[in-house]
Amino acid sequence: MEELSLENLFKKPFFDLKELVDSIQECLHCPTTIEDTNHRLHAYSSHGVDADLARIGTIVSQRVPENVINRLWKEDIIPKLMKAEHAVRIPHIEDIGLRDRVAIAIRKNTEILGYIWIVEGPKKLNDKQLEMLKDAASAAAPLMAKLYQNRKRKEEDYQDFLWQLLTGDYQNRDEIHGKFHELKLKIPDCFTVLVFQFEQDISRKMEEQIAYLITTSQKITNHFLVVMDNALILIASPHFSQINNNAFEEFIVYFTSEIANRFSILGVKGSAGTSYSDFSKAQASYKEARKVLDMKKFFPQELESVFHFNRLGPFRYLDLLQHEWHDKRNEHPAIEKLESYDQLHKANLLKTLEVYIQHDSNMNEAAKQLYVHTNTLHYRIKRISEIGGIQLTNVHEKLSIYLDLKVRKLTQK
pLDDT at residue 1 is higher than 70? no
Contact 234, 165 (CB under 8 A): no
What is the per-residue pLDDT across 338-376, written as a single tens digit (0 to 9) for each? 989 999 999 999 999 999 998 889 999 999 999 999 999
**Of residues 329 and 248, more confidently modeled:** 248
Average pLDDT over residues 284-313: 93
Report the pLDDT value the prediction gives residue 326, as an integer from 0 to 100: 57
Contact 264, 227 (CB under 8 A): no
In whole angstroms, what is the distance from residue 251 CA to residue 304 CA?
16
Average pLDDT over residues 381-400: 89
Query: Which residues, 6 or more positions from 31, have their beta carbon under 8 angstroms from its beta carbon?
Result: 25, 44, 45, 46, 47, 48, 51, 55, 118, 119
**Backbone CA torsion sign across 230, 236, 238, 241:** negative
Q: What is the pTM of this model?
A: 0.69
What is the per-residue pLDDT across 22-81, written as a single tens digit (0 to 9) for each? 999 989 989 999 999 889 899 999 887 678 899 999 998 888 998 899 899 989 999 999
**Of residues 166 and 309, more confidently modeled:** 309
**Backbone CA torsion sign across 372, 373, 376, 381:** positive
Enter the DSSP assignment of 15: S
* Of 406, 318, 391, 333, nearest in space to 361 by CA: 391
Domains of the chain in start order, with CATH, are 17-146 (3.30.450.40), 168-308 (3.30.70), 320-411 (1.10.10.2840)
Query: Which residues, 6 or more positions from 179, have their beta carbon under 8 angstroms from its beta carbon?
Result: 161, 170
Query: Which residues, 6 or more positions from 151, have their beta carbon under 8 angstroms from its beta carbon?
Result: none
Report the pLDDT value the prediction gives residue 4, as an integer from 0 to 100: 38
Quote the Cα angle for 229-234-237, to 5°: 170
